[in-house]
């Protein structure tokens, strides 16, 4: 084996410096490679395959045949899909704003020196990390017309019992209440991190100027939390349009289709009717809608969020 000389070592160092000048860092690429492999294997490739299937009549049992835009044309005349899309938008509107606003309020309350704030934070956040299936089963019992806690509480204050999951007027509201309860801890934790990054000198200056607690919140806290609010807005929008488990368990899309959502329709068409090509077309439409909303949030919702405080 040829011994390494000083000239060889200098040559290696020279090549490394050249790679650094060219921006090549093989160690860095090696570290991020697993993340990219997972992304390509479980997100990008399935997305491309789904896009291909959306132009076919694939049904699990036979080879897919190209049918052009027939699946998308069928969507334009599908009343169930239109209902599901409307329900999904209603669900998103009813969950996004309360989740953000209540998460902010809870974060502000639990950011101070109140007694038991650690326990309160944990109690509010635990539902977020609990399985949606488990949470849905618990709320299925809560909403039970005869044995559920909700109706027992109503009876105790003299109100008539409600058919929570069996009436079109209350079924979606019931799912929304459960979803907010489960997800509000996520917004609270993110807001807590944002609150703790705000310099205390800003509040001291506002206090010296005679600002009340409410004015400090409105003029200091809210503007400084704009980047945090933007991040939570993006995540809640995406999650709201992906709603499925609670719908499938609590109502299975009923009653009379009042709670069916786009993802629920994708599941029914793909894994019950075995119309995978048609389900893929639904998935592509949902992907485009979610992408447009996300890009709109980045364009209009992120304005003025680049705050720099010395």
Write the pLDDT tens digit of every residue in 101-140: 999 999 999 987 788 888 999 999 999 999 999 999 999 9
**Contact present, 172 and 143 (Cβ < 8 Å):** no
Q: What is the 3-state secondary structure (H, E, C) of 242-267?
A: CCCHHHHHHCCCCCCCCCCCHHHHHH
Q: How far is Cα 238 from Cα 261, in angstroms, rounded to an integer?
A: 14
pLDDT at residue 304, rounded to an integer:
47
Closest CA to 285 of 262, 257, 253, 259: 262
Burial of 202 (0-12, 13-18, 19+ CB in 10 A): middle
Q: How far is Cα 22 from Cα 165, in angstroms, rounded to an integer?
A: 62
pLDDT at residue 107, rounded to an integer:
93
pLDDT at residue 25, rounded to an integer:
67
pLDDT at residue 16, rounded to an integer:
58
Q: How sure is the predictor about 309, in pLDDT bands with cuts at 50, 70 and 90?
A: very low
Q: Across residues 21-43, what is the average pLDDT? A: 81
How many CA atoms, within 13 angstroms, populate the side-chain half-sphere of residue 97? 5
Evaluate if residue 283 carries a pLDDT over 90.
yes
- Reading the block at residue 193, the tokens are 């991190």
Write the pLDDT tens digit of every residue in 146-187: 889 999 999 999 888 999 999 999 999 999 999 999 999 999
- Reading the block at residue 241, the tokens are 């349009």
Evaluate if residue 100 carries a pLDDT over 80.
yes
Domain annotation for the chain: domains and CATH numbers: 6-53 (no CATH), 71-301 (1.10.3720.10)
pTM for the model stands at 0.83
Q: How sure is the predictor about 17, in pLDDT bands with cuts at 50, 70 and 90?
A: low
Q: How far is Cα 224 from Cα 232, in angstroms, rounded to an integer?
A: 14
């Amino acid at each position: 084996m040829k011994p390494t000389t000083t000239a060889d070592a200098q040559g290696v160092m020279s090549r490394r410096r050249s790679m650094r000048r060219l921006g090549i860092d093989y160690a860095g690429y090696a570290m991020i490679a697993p993340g990219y492999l997972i992304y390509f294997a479980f997100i990008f490739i399935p997305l491309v395959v789904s896009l291909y299937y959306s132009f076919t009549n694939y049904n699990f049992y036979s080879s897919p045949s190209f049918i052009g835009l027939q699946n998308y044309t069928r969507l334009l005349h599908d009343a169930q899909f239109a209902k599901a899309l409307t329900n999904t938008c209603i669900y998103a509107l009813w969950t996004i704003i309360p989740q953000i606003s209540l998460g902010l309020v809870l974060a502000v309350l639990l950011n101070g020196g109140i007694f038991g704030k650690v326990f309160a934070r944990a109690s509010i956040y635990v539902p977020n990390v609990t399985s949606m299936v488990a949470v849905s089963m618990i709320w299925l019992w809560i909403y039970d017309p005869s044995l559920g806690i909700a109706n027992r509480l109503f009876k105790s204050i003299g109100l008539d019992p409600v058919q929570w999951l069996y009436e079109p007027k209350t079924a979606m509201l019931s799912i929304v209440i459960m979803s907010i309860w489960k997800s509000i801890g996520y917004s609270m934790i993110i807001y807590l991190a944002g609150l703790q990054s705000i310099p205390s000198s800003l509040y001291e200056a506002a206090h010296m100027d005679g600002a009340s607690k409410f004015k400090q919140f409105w003029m200091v806290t809210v503007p400084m939390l704009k980047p945090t609010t933007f991040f939570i807005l993006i995540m809640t929008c995406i999650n709201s349009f992906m709603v499925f488990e609670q719908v499938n368990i609590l109502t299975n899309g009923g009653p009379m289709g009042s709670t069916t959502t786009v993802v629920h329709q994708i599941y029914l068409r793909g894994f019950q009717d075995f119309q995978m090509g048609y389900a893929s077309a639904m998935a592509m439409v949902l992907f485009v809608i979610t992408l447009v909303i996300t890009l709109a949030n980045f364009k209009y919702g992120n304005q003025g969020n680049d705050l720099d405080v010395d």
